[in-house]
Every structure is written in structure tokens, then in C-alpha cells.
Amino acid sequence: MDLPILQVGKILIVSMQTDMDDELVLRLQDKLLKKIQVSGSSGVVFDLSGVEIMDSFMCRILNEISQMAYLMGARVVVTGIQASVAITMIELGIDPQDIPTMLTLDKGLAFLTGLTNSP
Amino acid sequence: MECMERNETIIINNEADIVVARQKARELAKGLGFSATDQAKIATAVSELARNIVVYAKRGEIVCRILINGQRKGIEIVARDQGPGIANIELALTDGISTSNGLGIGLPGARRLMGELHIESASGQGTSIMARKWLN
């Protein structure tokens, strides 16, 4: 079972689920980067609205995937982090770093579209 | 002090068991009446402890226990393995120090999330980590 990667224009959307195990996430990394290459996508949204548990491994991998996507010319935005997950992540000790975050998928898409459209 | 118990043991053999352990812990926490945020904290702490078992010891177990002490209710998580043990417990509880390319926040993070965390371990002698979170 793989996470579906949806495409809207030049933007890819990945909808994360709570019960993602390590293998699934590593397969996502592979699949997503290939898709960026093939589609010429310049933006990716990781939507976390279906995620109730984020541990340090998941944070690290998503961050790494973001950096790999960046090397390929695609910006990653994270959307939909639930309040309880945000509280837990900071208390765990996660550094939110520089990955742009938005509350909703809408805003994430608007942000990425804005980036693509700027001169 | 009267403690009623209900145990759930999850055997940890591989990465997939990490998901089982955290979901089970979350279920128990929910049943006890922990808030959504506390459920997330407990599940995340379990995920960190279970992952350490997989990374360092390859196999072990997570035992989740419901604690009832009079009016007080809580959850106890014990993560144990027969792995290489922790040589320097104080270092292991320091943020940012990782012996496995991780973020180095698993143990100190689990302690912050649960509130109470005790480690029994020595080099070559396996590891037992006990963490508790009280509802009231």
C-alpha cells in the first residue's frame, strides 16, 4: 500500500496517514522524487491533517525528503498539522526549521503557486 | 497504596511493530480518558522507545500498564530489551546527542512527554526504561 501522490498543475500533493510505517515513508521518498523529475513539478505539499502521531524519525525523514526535493528545484510546504501534534512535536524537542507550514491545503497551494508565478 | 493493573505487551521485532505499539498505547490512553493531546504525547513517547529497541537491540518488548491508585489514574510504559545497554545514561538523556544518526531527542523527549522516566541499563546488560504519565 503506497501513499497516493496527487497532481494539481505543477504541484504535487501527498496526503499523509497516521499509520505510516518506516518502509512506507522510504517508498514515498523514492516515488516522490521520481515524480518530481518526471512531472517537472516545482512544489510539493505534505498534508498532515490525517496524522495524529509524529515521532522524531518521521520528522527527520520528511525533512530529508524536503531537502532532496529542494535539490531538484521543488519547494515543500507542510499543511494541516493538528494542534495536539504541534504541541507534542515541540515538547518532544523538534526544531521546526525552515520548512514553510500553512494551516490548510488551500493556503499551501496558494503559497506554492505564488512562488512559481513570481519573476 | 492499592494499584489495579491491566497489562498489554507488544513484542518489538521490527519497524512495523513500532506502529502497533504506539497505536495500542494510544488506545489505552484514550480509554483512560487522556485528552487528545496527551494521547499524542504518550503515543509519540512509545514510538521513540520502541524505535530505540529496533535500532539498538533488534528485539524487545513494550509493556503498557494502566495504573489506578485510589482516585488517581495513569499509564505506565516499560520498554525492555536484552540489547547492548546504555553506557552513559546521562548522555543518553541529553538533547541532540545521537548514537545512531537520529535527532538525539528520543529519550529526553520521551521524558518530557511522559513526565516521569527512569532508565535501568549498563553496557552489555540490556535496557529497561519505565515511563509514567498520570491523568490527575
- pLDDT tens string, chain B, 136 residues long: the values are 444 557 899 999 999 999 999 999 999 999 999 999 999 999 999 999 999 999 999 999 999 999 999 999 999 999 999 999 999 999 999 988 888 888 888 999 999 999 999 999 999 999 999 999 999 8
- C-alpha span between A94 and A59 (Å, rounded): 8
Q: Please answer yes or no on whether A85 and B40 come within 8 Å at the CB atom.
A: yes
Residue pair B111/B93 in contact (Cβ under 8 Å)? The answer is: yes
**Beta-bridge partners for B14:** none
Dmax of chain B from CA atoms? 43
The position carrying cell 520548512 is A99
- C-alpha span between A2 and A23 (Å, rounded): 10
Q: pLDDT tens, A34-91?
A: 999 999 999 999 999 999 999 999 999 999 999 999 999 999 999 999 999 999 999 9
- C-alpha span between A25 and A44 (Å, rounded): 15
- Give the β-pairing of A75-79 and A101-102: parallel
Of the candidates A21, A83, A84, which has its C-beta nearest B19's C-beta?
A21
B93 touches chain A (CB under 8 A): no
B127 touches chain A (CB under 8 A): no
B12 touches chain A (CB under 8 A): no
User: Which grid coordinates are listed for A9?
Assistant: 498543475
DSSP annotation of B136 reads -
Residues 21-50 of A with CB under 8 A from B: 21-23
Give SS3 for B62: strand
DSSP annotation of B55 reads I
Under the banding of pLDDT at 50, 70 and 90, the label for residue A17 is confident
Q: What is the ipTM of this complex?
A: 0.90
A90 touches chain B (CB under 8 A): no
Give the start-end residues of each E strand in A16-119.
43-47, 75-79, 101-102
- Please, how many CA atoms are within 13 Å of residue A108, restricted to the half-sphere of its CB? 27
Q: Which residues of A touch B113 (CB under 8 A)?
A: 88, 91-92
